[in-house]
Structure 1
Amino acid sequence: MGVAKDIFTGAAMALTAVGALVVTATMLSWAGANFAAAYTAGAIMSLLGTLLLSRQGLSLVVMPSVAVTAYLVFIIAISNGLGWQQILGISAAGSVLGTGFWLWASRHRQNFFPPALCWGICLAVAVYLIVQGLNLGRIIVTSPWSVTMVGGFYDPLAYWSLVGIILTLALAACRCRLALFYGMAFTLAATLLEGFWVIPAAPFFLPEGLDTSVGQLTGAAGTDKELWLFGLTSLCLPVCLGTINASSIMAFAPAAGRQQQCQGAGTLSALGLIGALLGTTPLAVAPTSAASHGAAGRYVTGGAAAVLLLALFMEPLAAAWADFPAMTVPVLVGSGFLLILRLSREIPLAADENTRRAELMSITVMTLLLPLAHNFATALGAAAWGYIIFMVFAGRARDISRCMVAGGALFAFYFAYSMFI
């Protein structure tokens, strides 16, 4: 019975994470990429990343990062006029730098960020996932006179998204191990029966589209502005993504040591280069890994790998889901809440009162800025600088690590240039 439960847990984690493949492929298509190509590349890298992390003793599901993809598409591409090929180029450059950093970090004991800020990054990601899900389901919408407002539930997408969220959170409150899976499955079945999406005549198809994306990444820039933006984003990306992955491994695999965290984050950085060559954005630990509740082992990985392999051949079905993504909303929102529940078990704040105040203020800044600005570099950079300033004024300047100072200098340069973008 334990083996079957582990297999089903892994399969459920991967199945609910398939929604991330649809979301990231859809966002890349908005930047001009081919949806089928982005989906196929993402499925291949998810399967490869999940298997490689398993060999390192980490039973986690890997997916292209929804949060980082949104940052690259909306802030870097759409807002500043860069193409999807340049997004892939930034991903490749950032992956190379990130891999080098984690090779260095694995040989040194010094942490880049204090443990409390790593915890805060996970919290900010959790809140960001919740907000992204509510936006995707049109439960909250932009408003001309306020930051946001509640959408109308006469909208079928908003209505079924809300129903799925309520069911998912109710199951999670009852400690249901497969709350995300049941919430997604119910919403999927209900919207299918209501006719809001249909199963394609050929729901399964051989992977396609890679011929339009393989090797298409570029570092070319038409203007000096694009060149600077390309370079600065490539420098900031590994800091943001590496911290997210290391924090996620710490949250979802608490038994993993620091060496495993560095190896896992380094592996994902190295795979990001292969993913960029294929046509997808950097990889991250899927928040749905929170559904494991500590389950680990080859059977969990085997169940997840089987689903990810199947997902590689179901692009037409995934495209149909993207037309009415109500089933993805409970996954994003539920993942965020599960991550918050996991983080609430232990908050690694410093014992010193002044340091603790600096950490709490920095975490607050990051948690508020990320969902409001949809910009990882801005949120993480503001938190880093806030921490440095708070520590200096609290008389704890000597406790700031050199890595933190170097990161603050990098983000200061990023902010200074961003004023002219």
Structure 2
Amino acid sequence: MWAQMAAGETGASWRCDAVAGLGTALTLSYVLLAVPTFLARAGMDFAGAYAACGIAMVLGTALMGFLRLPIAAAPSVPLVVWLVMLPVISHGLDWRALLAVGAAASAVLLFGLFTLGRLHRTRFGARHFRRELVHSVVPPCIERGLAGGVGLMLIFTALSEGRLLMPAPAGLLQLGDLHDPVAAFGLVGVLLVLALMAARVRLAVFYAMLIVAVLSFVEGFWIVPSAPFFEPEGLDKTAFQLFCVPSMDGILWGEAAATGFVLLLYLALDGWGSLIVLAQMRAPHGETSSSDAAALHGRKTLAVFGALGIVASALGTVPVVAAPESAVGQSLGGSRRMSWFTALFLTGMLFLAPTARELASFPALFVPALFGAGILLLQRVQGVLSGDFAERAAAGALFLLAPLTKSLALSIGTAFFLLVFLKCMAGRMAEVRLPARVLAVCFLLYWYFGYWPTF
């Protein structure tokens, strides 16, 4: 699959890749605004955080293009929310220390992947071993649950951003109020995506986005600003501030270490999970060797993201990962060239901050993109709840938690823990390889340091 991702379809045109890049960039515009907004709450300069985030996204996405992969790079919004709300606001960690922690976690990830690569070349150079290594770490039941989990995560994100699903006072969720213009236009976008997909329209997602954008513009729910351009500025207030960390006491050093450990696991698990899902989406139907592909190419791509994390932290933002929103561009038929067009349009958004802010102010515009990409991922789900009880429980947990938590790291970690725990209770621990057991223990530490303090 990764080979096909690298090669791209021969029939894919430059026009199709441009449309896919535009759709992906528009969908990522809410990330480009949400991340600096939350970092500003941590004390950073908004303009500097916006410029740093935009440059990191452009650089990472362009590098994915040079790797011949149709993937966009962006910070994870749920991760940024957790970092700002818990370590910074609740526990008092300085935002400059947060940048240093991000650089350190990325450096450790890069060093670990480099060491693993050296081990393969010097002692276990055969491709067969690399396949066996990944198969021993990633049980098939977890791999099967990834595409469905990410698909549901994108759908739930679309419905919640479009206010079609709202928190309920007596339950978990309730339907939104269709008198709300965002909900009304969001519903129009969902129905358009379903109708166009049923009609087998090739660019169903893009046409649905375009129709919703035009209708909402005509109704006056968003406008083109009188001053649509914004020269990037503020990097002098954020760049290289990770070297200016104020003095910290023992408690804050412990908080920084715990945050770094959680961030390291998040980057590894979330990054690997996104890469696996995006590889599956570009594979032919019936192909099931995504773990083989990840064994051969995923380590190199994760290493690139590790290096990008150091650069992003030095600029003044959090590390970037493979954006699940890349599925939007892939659903529009984008090939490897899609990443270059996405990077080009994201570069334009660096100078169009007021316009991007206006677009993001009416989130119904992004509902068709996220919803359509989620539907296309769900179409690839086969045999999620197969195998014995432990395997079905692990895959089901991943399938359920991804949309509820919007965190692949937490979802994958829970699936590993459940698989190991239930296999142990059934007296079948021998069926679980040692690397999977180690990951289950790492998840317990991740949960303790990352989530226990919030209770």
Report the TM-score range of the alignment, normalised by the length of the smaller protein: 0.7 to 0.9
Q: How does 1:114-133 map to 2 (within 5 A)?
A: 114-133=139-158
Q: How does 1:292-307 map to 2 (within 5 A)?
A: 292-293=330-331, 295-298=334-337, 300-307=338-345
1:246 aligns with 2:272: yes
Distance 1:420 1:6 in 2: 45
Distance 1:89 1:376 in 2: 23
Report Cα offsets for 1:118-172 as digits up to 9, x if no partner. 4434433332333233223322222332112222121222222222232234334
Distance 1:262 1:308, change over 3 A: same
1:142 aligns with 2:167: yes
> What is the Cα-based RMSD across aligned positions, in Å?
3.1
1:199 CA drift (Å):
1.7
1:53 CA drift (Å):
1.8
1:174 CA drift (Å):
3.9
Match of 1:164 in 2: 189
Between stretches 119-128 and 387-396, larger displacement belongs to 119-128
Match of 2:295 in 1: 258
Distance 2:16 2:321 in 1: 25
Specify the code of the residue in structure 2 equivalent to 1:69.
V
| Correspondent of 2:203 among 169, 174, 178 | 178
Distance 2:187 2:417 in 1: 37
Specify the code of the residue in structure 2 equivalent to 1:44.
I
Specify the code of the residue in structure 1 equivalent to 2:230.
F
Match of 1:211 in 2: 236
Distance 2:246 2:416 in 1: 30
Match of 2:346 in 1: 308
Does the aligned pair in 2 maintain the 1:205–1:314 contact within 8 Å?
A: yes
1:44 aligns with 2:55: yes
Q: How does 1:282-301 map to 2 (within 5 A)?
A: 282-290=319-327, 291-293=329-331, 295-298=334-337, 300-301=338-339
TM value normalised by structure 1: 0.85
Match of 1:317 in 2: 355
Does the aligned pair in 2 maintain the 1:214–1:277 contact within 8 Å?
A: yes
Distance 1:88 1:130, change over 3 A: farther
1:378 CA drift (Å):
4.3
1:271 aligns with 2:308: yes
Distance 1:225 1:325, change over 3 A: farther
Does the aligned pair in 2 maintain the 1:16–1:181 contact within 8 Å?
A: no
1:287 CA drift (Å):
2.6
Distance 1:133 1:31 in 2: 27
Distance 2:366 2:301 in 1: 27
Distance 1:347 1:239, change over 3 A: farther
1:210 CA drift (Å):
1.9
1:230 CA drift (Å):
3.1
TM value normalised by structure 2: 0.79
Between stretches 112-121 and 146-155, larger displacement belongs to 112-121
Match of 1:95 in 2: 106
Specify the code of the residue in structure 2 equivalent to 1:98.
L
Distance 2:200 2:37 in 1: 32
Alignment coverage as a number of residue pairs? 414
1:214 CA drift (Å):
1.6
Report Cα offsets for 1:198-249 as digits up to 9, x if no partner. 2221212221232232223477686766544432332233333323333333
**What SS is found at the alignment partner of 1:214?**
coil
Distance 1:385 1:92 in 2: 28
Between stretches 46-55 and 87-96, larger displacement belongs to 87-96
Does the aligned pair in 2 maintain the 1:240–1:380 contact within 8 Å?
A: no
1:173 CA drift (Å):
4.1
Specify the code of the residue in structure 2 equivalent to 1:238.
L
Specify the code of the residue in structure 1 equivalent to 2:345.
V
Report Cα offsets for 1:334-370 as digits up to 9, x if no partner. 33333323x42x55888xx43xx32221122233334
Specify the code of the residue in structure 1 equivalent to 2:265.
V
1:264 CA drift (Å):
1.1
| Correspondent of 2:439 among 407, 410, 417 | 407
Q: Work out which of the two has the higher radius of gyration on C-alpha atoms and give 1 or 2.
A: 2
**What SS is found at the alignment partner of 1:149?**
strand
Distance 1:219 1:315 in 2: 29
Specify the code of the residue in structure 2 equivalent to 1:287.
P
Unpaired segments of 5 or more residues in structure 2?
Answer: 1-11, 121-129, 284-292
Specify the code of the residue in structure 2 equivalent to 1:55.
F
Specify the code of the residue in structure 2 equivalent to 1:296.
S
1:388 CA drift (Å):
0.6
Distance 1:372 1:85, change over 3 A: farther
Distance 1:325 1:81 in 2: 32
Q: How does 1:389-404 map to 2 (within 5 A)?
A: 389-404=421-436
**What SS is found at the alignment partner of 2:422?**
helix
| Correspondent of 2:416 among 371, 384, 389 | 384
Distance 1:386 1:371 in 2: 18
Specify the code of the residue in structure 2 equivalent to 1:393.
M
1:13 aligns with 2:13: no
Distance 1:171 1:320 in 2: 27
Does the aligned pair in 2 maintain the 1:13–1:181 contact within 8 Å?
A: no
**What SS is found at the alignment partner of 1:253?**
helix
**What SS is found at the alignment partner of 2:321?**
strand
Does the aligned pair in 2 maintain the 1:236–1:377 contact within 8 Å?
A: no
Does the aligned pair in 2 maintain the 1:28–1:73 contact within 8 Å?
A: yes
Distance 2:45 2:213 in 1: 25
Match of 2:125 in 1: none
Distance 2:249 2:173 in 1: 35
